């Protein structure tokens, strides 16, 4: 109640409902009626509530108000805890699928189970997964493309050896790194020793 306010402050608190000029005139009129006290600080005028018009509260009333405020604070704390618990429960409910969503999810899972059973049926019956013709085609493709890979690797090795014959090994390795050339890794070497490859000749054809 003792805080001074200027016309600008009052107009701002009124959210512009009363223009600044009108607010200044109203405050001056109230000051003339002794309802507020006008105080000047330099060129700025402030207004404060007239303390003489305020009723003095006895100590007993102040104590009662403090008790009432404390009780309200405690009640607010309880209500805040209840609101927090209710908000948490509401969040859980919102994250829980609806009946329609559950029905859709159950249907999707059932379809996935049926699809898996259909894939397992041939295995359980002992039926071959692929035909003999498909197996033969896979073998032919494997032999063809492995032979092509071996041919291209040999062509590269021949030309690379010719191009780097006069270079020291370290310079040749640096050049290969700069050109982004990747040599066979340990995994490739291991695969070459696998029965899948050792059963084929140097040109990728089956050994006779």
Q: pLDDT tens digit string along 85-122? A: 999 999 998 888 888 999 999 999 999 999 998 888 87
Q: What is the pLDDT of residues 151-178, one digit of tens each?
A: 998 999 999 999 898 889 899 889 999 9
Is 171 among the domain residues? yes
Q: Which domain holds residue 17?
A: 7-53
Q: Report d(CA 17, CA 106) in Å as an integer.
A: 59
DSSP-derived secondary structure for 114-152: HHHHHHHHHHHHT--SS-HHHHHHHHHHHHHHHHHHHHH
Q: Which residues contact 130 (CB under 8 A, 6 or more apart)?
A: 138
* Domain assignment of residue 144, yes or no: yes
Q: Find residue 89's DSSP bridge partners.
A: none
Number of domains in the chain: 2
* Whole-number Å distance between alpha carbons of 47 and 32: 12
Q: 13 in a domain, yes or no?
A: yes
∠ CA(33), CA(35), CA(41), 5° rounding?
Answer: 95
Residue 164 lies in a domain: yes
Task: State yes or no: pLDDT of 207 exceeds 60.
Answer: no
Asked if pLDDT for residue 129 goes beyond 90, the answer is: no
Q: Find the distance separating the first CA and the last CA of the chain, reported in whole Å.
A: 109
pLDDT for position 203: 52
Confidence of residue 51 (pLDDT cuts 50, 70, 90): confident
Residues 6 or more apart whose CB falls under 8 angstroms from that of 39 comprise: 4, 45, 46, 47, 48
112, 115, 117, 119 alpha-carbon torsion, rounded to 10°: -130
Domain-located, residue 31: yes
pTM: 0.35
pLDDT at 131: 80
Contact 151, 159 (CB under 8 A): no
How far is Cα 192 from Cα 150, in angstroms, rounded to an integer?
11
Largest Cα separation within the chain, whole Å, is: 123
Q: Which of 35, 53, 71 is the endpoint of a domain?
A: 53
Cα separation of 29 and 40, whole Å?
15
> Is residue 109, in this structure, part of any structural domain at all?
no
In a domain, 124, yes or no: no
């Amino acid at each position: 109640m003792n805080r001074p306010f200027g016309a600008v402050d009052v107009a701002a608190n009124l959210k512009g409902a009363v223009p600044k000029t009108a607010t200044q005139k109203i405050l001056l009129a109230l000051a003339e009626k002794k309802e507020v006290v006008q105080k000047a600080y330099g060129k700025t005028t402030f207004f404060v509530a007239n303390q003489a018009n305020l009723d003095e509260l006895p100590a007993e009333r102040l104590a009662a108000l403090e008790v009432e405020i404390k009780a309200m604070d405690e009640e607010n704390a309880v209500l805040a805890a209840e609101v927090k618990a209710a908000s948490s429960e509401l969040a859980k409910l919102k994250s829980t699928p609806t009946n329609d969503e559950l029905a859709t999810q159950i249907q999707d899972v059932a379809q996935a189970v049926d699809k898996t059973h259909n894939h397992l049926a041939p295995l359980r019956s002992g039926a071959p997964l692929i035909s003999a013709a498909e197996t033969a085609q896979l073998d032919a493709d494997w032999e063809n493309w492995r032979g092509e890979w071996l041919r291209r690797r040999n062509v590269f090795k021949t030309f690379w050896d010719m191009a780097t014959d006069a270079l020291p090994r370290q310079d040749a390795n640096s050049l290969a790194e700069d050109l982004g050339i990747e040599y066979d890794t340990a995994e490739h070497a291991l695969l070459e020793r696998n029965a899948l490859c050792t059963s084929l000749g140097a040109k990728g054809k089956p050994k006779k």
